[in-house]
C-alpha cells in the first residue's frame, strides 16, 4: 500500500477483510503492473489466441472459414487488449505470425500480411491492421480525456496529471505514466495529420457518432461499432 505507513495497512486489511496482493498481477484477464509492461506480460494474449487455433482443425476449413474465424474470434480477443494497452511491435509481429500461419496453413505466405489487411475494395481480405487498430482504440482514450468523460480514471488524470491543462498542450514528464506517454505520442501524430487541436477535435468527435467511425492517422476510416 503505497503512501500508507505504520499500522494503517493492517487496519485497512482487517476492516475490509481483503487479502494483500502483489504486483504484477492480473485483473479481468489482463496484466496489472506498476511499471511498464514487458513482452512476457503479453503471454496470456498469445496463449488465448493459440488455444483457439488449437481447437480448430485448419486443414478441414476453407480459406474463407479461416478468414472468418480470424475476423470474428481472434481479432475479437485482440480488441480487448488493444483498447487498454499499446502493444509493442514485437507482440504485434507475433500475433500476426499466429494468424498468418493459421490462415495459410504454413509458415510461408503467398501475399504480404500488409496487403491481407487492406480493405476488400483495395484488394485485401479486410482484416484489421493491428498497429493502426491499436492506435485508433487508444485515441478514444485521448478523446475521453479531452471530453472529460464521466469516469473515475479520467477525473484522476485531470486532477493528478493535467491540473487544469489541456491534453492537447500538456507534456508528460519522464516519471509519468507510460500509457499517458503513448497517448501523447498518438496526440502528436494526430496534430501532425490535422494541423491544429481544433481540426483534430473536429475529427475525433466522430467517436461520439452513433456510427462509431474514426479517421485513422493514414486517413482511412475505421468502423469501431461503439
Secondary structure of 119-171 in the HEC alphabet? CHHHCCCCCCCHHHHHHHHHHHHHHHHHCCCCCHHHHHHHHHHHCCCCCCCCC
Greater confidence (215 vs 86) lies with: 86
Average pLDDT over residues 200-221: 60
Task: Specify the pLDDT at position 186.
Answer: 92
In this structure, what C-alpha cell is assigned to residue 125? Answer: 481480405
Calculate the CA 143 to chain-centre distance: 14
Per DSSP, 32 falls in state E
This prediction's pTM: 0.75
Handedness of CA 118, 122, 124, 128 (dihedral sign): positive
How far is the C-alpha of 78 from the C-alpha of 45, rounded, in Å?
8
Angle at which helix 178-194 crosses helix 197-204, to 10 degrees, equals: 100
Model confidence pLDDT, tens digit, residues 148-165: 888 898 999 999 999 989
Model confidence pLDDT, tens digit, residues 116-126: 999 888 888 99
Q: Quote the percentage of the chain above a pLDDT of 90.
A: 20
Closest CA to 139 of 194, 35, 215, 39: 215
Closest CA to 192 of 157, 168, 162: 168
Average pLDDT over residues 202-217: 60
Average pLDDT over residues 166-184: 90
Closest CA to 43 of 83, 79, 80, 94: 94
Decide if 52 contacts 74 (C-beta within 8 A): yes
Q: Which residue has the cell 495529420?
A: 193
Task: Specify the pLDDT at position 219.
Answer: 46
Model confidence pLDDT, tens digit, residues 23-72: 667 667 776 766 677 888 888 888 888 998 888 876 678 888 989 899 88
How far is the C-alpha of 136 from the C-alpha of 138, rounded, in Å?
5
Amino acid at each position: 500500500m503505497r503512501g500508507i505507513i505504520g499500522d494503517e495497512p493492517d487496519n485497512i486489511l482487517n476492516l475490509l477483510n481483503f487479502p494483500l496482493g502483489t504486483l504484477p498481477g492480473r485483473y479481468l484477464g489482463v496484466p496489472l503492473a506498476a511499471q511498464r509492461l514487458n513482452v512476457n506480460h503479453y503471454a496470456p494474449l498469445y496463449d488465448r489466441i493459440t488455444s483457439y487455433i488449437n481447437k480448430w482443425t485448419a486443414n478441414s476449413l476453407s480459406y474463407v472459414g479461416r478468414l472468418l474465424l480470424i475476423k470474428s474470434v481472434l481479432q475479437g480477443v485482440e480488441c480487448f487488449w488493444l483498447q487498454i494497452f499499446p502493444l509493442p511491435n514485437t507482440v504485434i509481429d507475433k500475433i500476426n505470425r499466429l494468424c498468418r500461419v493459421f490462415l495459410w496453413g504454413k509458415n510461408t505466405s503467398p501475399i504480404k500480411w500488409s496487403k491481407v489487411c487492406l480493405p476488400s475494395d483495395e484488394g485485401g481480405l479486410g482484416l484489421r491492421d493491428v498497429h493502426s487498430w491499436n492506435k485508433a482504440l487508444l485515441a478514444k482514450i485521448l478523446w475521453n480525456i479531452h471530453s472529460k468523460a464521466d469516469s473515475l480514471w479520467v477525473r484522476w488524470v485531470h486532477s493528478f496529471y493535467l491540473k487544469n491543462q489541456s491534453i492537447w498542450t500538456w507534456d508528460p514528464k519522464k516519471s509519468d505514466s507510460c500509457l499517458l506517454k503513448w497517448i501523447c505520442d498518438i496526440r502528436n501524430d494526430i496534430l501532425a495529420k490535422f494541423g491544429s487541436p481544433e481540426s483534430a477535435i473536429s475529427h475525433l468527435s466522430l467517436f461520439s457518432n452513433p456510427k462509431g467511425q474514426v479517421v485513422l492517422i493514414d486517413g482511412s476510416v475505421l468502423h469501431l461499432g461503439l
